[in-house]
Structure 1
Amino acid sequence: MVPQQRSAGGPAPMPDRDPVIDLARFFCLVLVVVAHTMMVSPVLHPDGTVTTENILGNQRWFEPVVWVLQIMPLFFVAGGITGLQSWRRLRARGGTGVDFMQCRLLRLIRPAAVLLAAMFLGLSAARLTGVAPQVIELVASGAGMPLWFLAAYLAAQLNLPWLAALHDRAPWLSFAGLAALVVTVDCLRGVLPPLAYLNMVFLWCAVQQLGFIIADGRRLQSGRPARFGIIVASNMLLGLLVLLGLYSGNMLVNLNPPNVTLLLLGISQAAALQLFRPGLSRIASLAWVRRMMGVAGRRSMTVYLWHLPLLAAMSGLLLLTAFPQPVGGSAAWWWGRPLVLLGVVALLLPVLALFGRLEERPTASGPSRSRPAAAVLLAAVAVFVPAVDAALNGLTLGLLGGGAACFALAVVLLGRIPARLTTPAEPSGGSEPPLPRPPLSANVEP
C-alpha cells in the first residue's frame, strides 16, 4: 500500500492498492465456484425431461451456514471501495461520468459478449446434431445467474458518479435514503410483487455506499468495539425479522429479488471487513498469497462468467452417457463433489487461456476521443435489455443469440478507452494517487 497525502479540502487519501480488498474478492470468487458445484444436480426423468435440483440450498442445516457464507453483499462493498477510488482518479484526469460508464461497461461486457456468442454457437450446433432440447435448455440456463449479477453490478457501478457526489455532501444521509427506499419497496412488494425487482438497484446501490464509507478513511470509520457492536446489532435485527416471519431465514431465497435482509448482511460484512482488516492484511502480504491473487485477479470475471455454464454443460453431457448418476443428496453424490470441482477447474483452464485476455485494459493505442454520451447510454440499454430479461424469465437459446448481438453492438458503440483516462498522470503535489497497475482486479478498474 502506498500512502498518499491529502490535499486541502479534498477527499480522504486512498492507497494505490488495497490487498485486503483483493483478498476479499478472491475469497468471494472461490466460495461462489465451490458452492455452485454443490448445488447443481440435474435429473433425467423417465419421460425424457430434465430438471435441476438445488441440493445444497434445500438442506435445512444449510440455512444458518448460508447466513454466514452469503457473500454477495461483500462483493458490492468491495466494488464500492474500488469504484469510488477509480472514479476520483479518473475525474482528476479530466474524465466525466460518461467516461466512467464507458470504462465500466467495456471491462465487464467484453468477456460476457464472448460467453454469450460461444454458448449460442455451441448450443445451436448441438441442437442441429440432435442433442435433446432439455439438455440444451439446462446448459442455456447455466448462464442466467452470471447475467443477473452482471446486470445488478452494472446498475450499481453506472450510478456511481452521482451517488459519489451525494456521498461527498452527506455520506450517512445518502446511505439512509437508499436504505429507506429498500424498506419502502419491501413494504409494497406484497401489494405489487413486480416492485420487488426495484431493489436490484436500490439495495445494491445502498450496499455499495457502505464501500464508499470504508474508502473515505478514518473520518467516517469507528473503532473496534463499535464495529463489533455493528456486527452483533445487524445480525440480531436480521434474526428478529426472520423469527417474526417477515423474511425467510434462507439467504439464497432472499437473494433474487433481494430484500432488506441482504442490506443487513452487507452492514455486518462491511463492519467485519474492517474489524478483521489487520489479520487479513497480514495474510494478503504473504508472497504466495499475492501471487495467487494476482493470477486470479487478472481473470476473475472470466472465471465467474464461465464456471456455471461449464458446470451445466458438463452435467448435461453426463446425462447422455452411461456414467453413474448418484441420487442428489446421497452419500455417493456428496463424495463426488470434489471430482465435479476438479472437472470444472479443468474446463476453465483452456477457457482462461483463450478468453482471459479480454479482461485486459481495452485502451486505444493511439489518440482517441471519449465516446458521445448517446453512444454510451445506448450501449447500456443494449446490455440491460437481455440481461434483465434473462434475470426475470430465464435464459433460452433465442435470448442467448439476441443477447450476444446486443452485447456485441454495445462493444462497438463503446469503442476503446482513451489512453489519457488510463495512463498515470504526472504527480501534482501528491493530491491524487496513480491508477492501480493491471496485475490485480483489472476487470473492475478503469
Structure 2
Amino acid sequence: MERDAFPVVSPAPVVRRDPAIDLVRFTCLLLVVAAHCMMVSPALLKGGTVTTDNVLMDQGWFTPVAWGLMIVPLFFVLGGVTGLESWRRLRARGGTGFAFAQLRLLRLVRPAMALLAVMWGGLWLALLLGVHPQVIQLMAAGAAMPLWFLAAYLTAQLSVPLMARLHEHAPLLTFAALVAAIITIDSLRGALPVLAFTNLIFVWCAVQQLGFFMADGFFERRSRTWLVGAIVSSNLVLGLVTGVAVYPGNMVVNINPPNLCLLLLGISQAATLQLLHGGITWLAGVGWVQKIIAVAGRRSMTVYLWHLPLLVGMSGLLLLTDVPKPLAGTAEWWWARIPVFFAVVALLVPVVWLFGRLENRPTAASHARGPSRTAVVTAAVVVLIPVADAAFNGLTLALLGGGAACFALSVLLLGRVPTPVLPPAFAVKFPAQRSSHGPTLPEPGFSANLEP
C-alpha cells in the first residue's frame, strides 16, 4: 500500500547523440574562429600604444558573404533542439526547472570562470611588467567579444522549461507572440534605443523555438518543396526589409542588439539543416570525422571562449618581435591569415586539454542534495550582471576580476551539499520522498547533445 502511494519515478530512456548536430556545431565553430582571424589586425604605434582595425568589416564584399555565413542563429536553433530534449529527459526523471537551470549554469559558467580568472591574472602581470595601460584595455575589450553570446545563450537556455511548457500547449501561438514582440521592439527602437536590447531575449528565444519545432519533428515532416520554399521566402523577406533600409544589410551590424533579420536567417538555416540532414548524418558517420568531433566537439564552449583571447594575445606578442607584419588588407596580409588560423588552433590544443574538463556534464552522488531555489536564482543573477555589463559597456581589467569572482560565487552557490545516506529500509519505505529531495543533477552516464 505504501509503495503504491509513493511510486518511484522511472528513469528516462537513454537517447543517443545526433551526430549531425555535433558536426554542424563543430563546423560553425571553425567558421567563427576563421572569421575572427580575419578581423583582428593590431598595429604598434610610437609611444607604445596599439591600434587595431577590423579588416573584414571594411571589405565591400563582406556584406553579402555575411548574409550567408552569419551562423549565430544556427547555434540557437541547435541549442533549442538539445535544450528541449535535455529538459524532457530531466523532467522524466523527476527533475524541476530549477534543476535544469543548475545544470545549464554549471555547464556554461565553469569554463567562463577559468577564462576570466586567467585573463585577469595575465593582464595584471603584463601591466606590472610595463605594458601600456591602453594596450591592456584594448586586449581586454577585444577578448570580450564572445561574452555577449554567453549572456544571450545563457538567458535563452534558462528559459527552456518555461518556453517548453508554452510550446507544448500552443506552439504556433507561442512563436507568433515572440515574433510580434520582436517587431514591436524593432518599431520602437528609434524612439527608445535602450529598448532594443530587450530583443536579446525575444529574438533568441524565438530562434530557439525553431529548435523546439525541429526536435518535435515539424521540419522532418515537411516535404523538400516546403523546405525550399521556407528558405526562399525567408530570404526574400530579408532582402525586402534590408533593401528598403528598414534594417541594415550587414548582418554583423544586426546582431547586437538583434532584430527580425536574425529570426529570418534562423528560419532559413533551420530549413536548410533539415534539407541537408541526411547528407550531414552520413558525413558525421565517417570514421575520422567521428574521432575529431569526439575530441573537439564536446569541448566547443572552451574553444569558443578561449580562441579570441588567444588570438588577441598572440597578435599582441607578435608586435614585439621582428616577425614580418604585412599591412592590413594587402594580399600578403590575407595569405597570412592561414598560418594565423592554424597557430590559434595549435594554441587551443593545450588550453582544451587543461580546461576542457570543466565542460564535463556535472553529476551528483546518490546522497547529494541540490541547492535551494533561492541559491539557483541568486547564482543566475550573479552571473548575468557582469556578463551583461561587459556586453553593453565593454570589458575592463576591473570587470574581469569582478566577473571571475562572481562566476566563482555562482559555482559555489550551485555546488552540491552532501547529506547523510538514507538507510535501505527507509529508502524503500519512502521512495518518493527520496526522489523529491534527491540529487537535482543526473546520475553518471546520463548524456545528451549539449550546447556549445
TM-score computed with the length of structure 1 as normaliser: 0.90
**Shift of residue 51, structure 1, vs aligned partner:** 2.5
**Shift of residue 15, structure 1, vs aligned partner:** 5.2
Q: Indicate whether 1:436 and 2:447 are aligned.
A: yes
Greater mean alpha carbon deviation, residues 58-67 or residues 414-423: 414-423
Tell me the distance in 1 between the aligned counterparts of 2:57 and 2:393: 21
> What amino acid is aligned across from residue 190 of structure 1 in structure 2?
G
Does the aligned pair in 1 maintain the 2:370–2:439 contact within 8 Å? Answer: no
Q: For 1:169-180, what aligned pairs fall within 5 Å after superposition? A: 169-180=169-180
**Shift of residue 347, structure 1, vs aligned partner:** 1.4
Does the aligned pair in 2 maintain the 1:22–1:297 contact within 8 Å? Answer: yes
Q: What does the per-residue CA deviation read over 1:383-404, in whole Å, with 9 as the maximum and x for residues that have no partner?
A: 1011001000111101100000
Counterpart residue number, 1:163? 163
Greater mean alpha carbon deviation, residues 14-23 or residues 272-281: 14-23
Does the aligned pair in 2 maintain the 1:359–1:443 contact within 8 Å? Answer: no
> What amino acid is aligned across from residue 391 of structure 2 in structure 1?
A
Tell me the distance in 2 between the aligned counterparts of 1:261 and 1:399: 31
Does the aligned pair in 1 maintain the 2:23–2:297 contact within 8 Å? Answer: no
Does the aligned pair in 1 maintain the 2:42–2:53 contact within 8 Å? Answer: yes
Counterpart residue number, 2:426? none
Counterpart residue number, 2:154? 154
Q: What does the per-residue CA deviation read over 1:41-94, in whole Å, with 9 as the maximum and x for residues that have no partner?
A: 112334543222111122111111110000000000000000000000000011
> What amino acid is aligned across from residue 20 of structure 1 in structure 2?
A
Does the aligned pair in 2 maintain the 1:213–1:221 contact within 8 Å? Answer: no
Closer, same or farther: CA 15–224 of 1 in aligned 2, 3 Å? farther
**Shift of residue 14, structure 1, vs aligned partner:** 9.9
Q: What does the per-residue CA deviation read over 1:297-324, in whole Å, with 9 as the maximum and x for residues that have no partner?
A: 2211110000000101111122223332
Flag structure 1 segments of 5+ consecutive residues without an equivalent. Answer: 1-12, 425-433
Tell me the distance in 2 between the aligned counterparts of 1:200 and 1:420: 28
Does the aligned pair in 2 maintain the 1:213–1:220 contact within 8 Å? Answer: no
Greater mean alpha carbon deviation, residues 140-149 or residues 407-416: 140-149
> What amino acid is aligned across from residue 50 of structure 2 in structure 1?
V
Tell me the distance in 2 between the aligned counterparts of 1:50 and 1:411: 36
Tell me the distance in 1 between the aligned counterparts of 2:450 and 2:297: 7
Tell me the distance in 1 between the aligned counterparts of 2:206 and 2:285: 30
Counterpart residue number, 1:5? none
Where 2:334 maps in the other structure, the secondary structure is: helix
Q: What does the per-residue CA deviation read over 1:394-436, in whole Å, with 9 as the maximum and x for residues that have no partner?
A: 1110110000000000000000497664237xxxxxxxxx943
Tell me the distance in 1 between the aligned counterparts of 2:451 and 2:411: 15
Flag structure 2 segments of 5+ consecutive residues without an equivalent. Answer: 1-12, 418-437
TM-score computed with the length of structure 2 as normaliser: 0.89
Does the aligned pair in 2 maintain the 1:360–1:442 contact within 8 Å? Answer: no
Counterpart residue number, 1:8? none
> What amino acid is aligned across from residue 394 of structure 2 in structure 1?
G
**Shift of residue 220, structure 1, vs aligned partner:** 7.7
> What amino acid is aligned across from residue 380 of structure 2 in structure 1?
A
Counterpart residue number, 1:362? 362
Where 2:162 maps in the other structure, the secondary structure is: helix
Q: For 1:413-428, what aligned pairs fall within 5 Å after superposition? A: 413-416=413-416, 421-423=441-443
Tell me the distance in 2 between the aligned counterparts of 1:14 and 1:179: 34
Greater mean alpha carbon deviation, residues 365-374 or residues 252-261: 365-374
Q: Indicate whether 1:129 and 2:129 are aligned.
A: yes
Does the aligned pair in 1 maintain the 2:39–2:54 contact within 8 Å? Answer: yes
Does the aligned pair in 1 maintain the 2:220–2:274 contact within 8 Å? Answer: no
Where 1:145 maps in the other structure, the secondary structure is: coil
**Shift of residue 219, structure 1, vs aligned partner:** 8.6
Greater mean alpha carbon deviation, residues 206-215 or residues 144-153: 144-153
Greater mean alpha carbon deviation, residues 394-403 or residues 142-151: 142-151
Does the aligned pair in 2 maintain the 1:138–1:316 contact within 8 Å? Answer: no
**RMSD between aligned residues:** 1.9
Q: For 1:95-114, what aligned pairs fall within 5 Å after superposition? A: 95-114=95-114
Counterpart residue number, 2:7? none
Counterpart residue number, 1:351? 351
Counterpart residue number, 1:266? 266
Tell me the distance in 2 between the aligned counterparts of 1:326 and 1:247: 35
Does the aligned pair in 2 maintain the 1:93–1:421 contact within 8 Å? Answer: no
Q: What does the per-residue CA deviation read over 1:328-358, in whole Å, with 9 as the maximum and x for residues that have no partner?
A: 1111111111111122112111111111111
> What amino acid is aligned across from residue 296 of structure 2 in structure 1?
A
Counterpart residue number, 2:430? none
> What amino acid is aligned across from residue 242 of structure 1 in structure 2?
T
Counterpart residue number, 1:3? none
Q: For 1:351-390, what aligned pairs fall within 5 Å after superposition? A: 351-365=351-365, 367-390=367-390
Q: Indicate whether 1:208 and 2:197 are aligned.
A: no
| Number of residue pairs aligned between Structure 1 and Structure 2 | 420
